[in-house]
C-alpha cells in the first residue's frame, strides 16, 4: 500500500515538473543580434521580428571585425578600458563608452565610443561601436547568452533587414473639374428667347407626330 502511494506521488511530481518545463519554454524569448559589416548596421531580432535597427561602426580594413556566429558572454556598465598596457577609467574619454557587451570571441565586443563621428564607418579595431544613446537603450534590451551574428557580405537576410529602398509613393492624377459656363456673348434675355424657341420647336414636332398616327 505504501509503495503504491509513493508511486502515485512520484508520478504527480514528474507531471508537475513536465508542466513547469513546458511553461518555462513557452516564456523563453529568442533574441538574435545581426550585424551587417557591409551595411554598418545592427538589428535586434526578437522572436523572428525586427525590434530595432541601429547604425554602427565596424572594423577598419587593417583591423577587420570577425565574421561568424557568437553570443554575448558578459555585460558591463561603465567599463574600465585596458589595451596594450594602457588603462582608461570610466568617463567621457573612455574608448569603449558607458557599456560593454563582450562576445564569445576573445577581445571583441559591442560597446560605445569617444569618437561619435566614427559611427557608420569602418573605423574600429574590430569591435562594434554604437552611439551612446543607442548603446544604452540596446544594452537594456539584450542579455548574456543572446546570439550575435556578424555577417561580412550582404546576403538575403541582411538585405531584408537593412534595405533602405522605399516603395515609390502612389501618384494621384488630378481629374479635371468640369464646370458649366455661360457664353459672355449671350445675355439673359437672349438665353430665355433661345430656350423658349427650342421648347416650342420640340412641341411642334410632337404635334406633327401625333397627327401622323
C-beta separation of 112 from 149 below 8 A: no
Cα–Cα dist 42/127, whole Å: 12
Cα–Cα dist 196/51, whole Å: 75
C-beta separation of 139 from 99 below 8 A: yes
Cα–Cα dist 73/153, whole Å: 25
CB atoms within 10 A of CB 121: 15
CA atoms within 13 A on the CB side of 196: 6
Q: Is position 127 annotated as part of the catalytic site?
A: yes
Out of 82, 83, 111, 125, the active site residue is 111
Out of 82, 83, 125, 127, the active site residue is 127
Q: Could you give the C-alpha distances from 32 to 44, 82, 180, 204, in angstroms and in order?
A: 6, 28, 65, 88
Q: Is position 111 annotated as part of the catalytic site?
A: yes
C-beta separation of 146 from 33 below 8 A: yes
Catalytic residues: 111, 127
Amino acid at each position: 500500500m505504501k509503495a503504491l502511494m509513493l508511486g502515485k506521488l512520484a508520478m504527480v511530481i514528474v507531471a508537475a515538473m513536465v508542466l513547469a518545463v513546458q511553461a518555462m519554454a513557452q516564456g523563453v524569448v529568442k533574441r538574435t543580434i545581426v550585424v551587417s559589416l557591409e551595411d554598418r548596421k545592427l538589428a535586434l531580432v526578437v522572436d523572428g521580428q525586427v525590434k530595432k535597427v541601429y547604425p554602427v561602426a565596424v572594423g577598419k580594413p587593417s583591423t577587420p571585425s570577425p565574421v561568424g556566429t557568437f553570443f554575448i558572454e558578459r555585460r558591463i556598465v561603465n567599463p574600465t578600458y585596458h589595451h596594450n598596457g594602457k588603462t582608461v577609467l570610466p568617463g567621457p574619454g573612455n574608448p569603449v563608452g558607458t557599456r560593454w557587451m563582450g562576445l564569445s570571441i576573445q577581445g571583441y565586443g559591442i560597446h560605445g565610443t569617444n569618437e561619435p563621428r566614427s559611427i557608420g564607418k569602418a573605423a574600429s579595431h574590430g569591435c562594434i561601436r554604437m552611439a551612446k544613446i543607442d548603446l544604452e537603450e540596446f544594452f537594456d534590451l539584450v542579455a548574456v547568452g543572446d546570439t550575435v551574428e556578424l555577417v561580412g557580405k550582404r546576403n538575403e537576410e541582411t538585405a531584408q533587414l537593412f534595405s533602405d529602398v522605399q516603395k515609390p509613393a502612389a501618384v494621384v492624377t488630378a481629374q479635371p473639374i468640369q464646370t458649366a459656363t455661360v457664353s459672355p456673348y449671350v445675355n439673359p434675355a437672349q438665353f430665355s428667347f433661345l430656350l423658349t424657341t427650342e421648347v416650342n420647336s420640340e412641341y411642334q414636332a410632337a404635334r406633327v407626330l401625333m397627327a401622323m398616327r
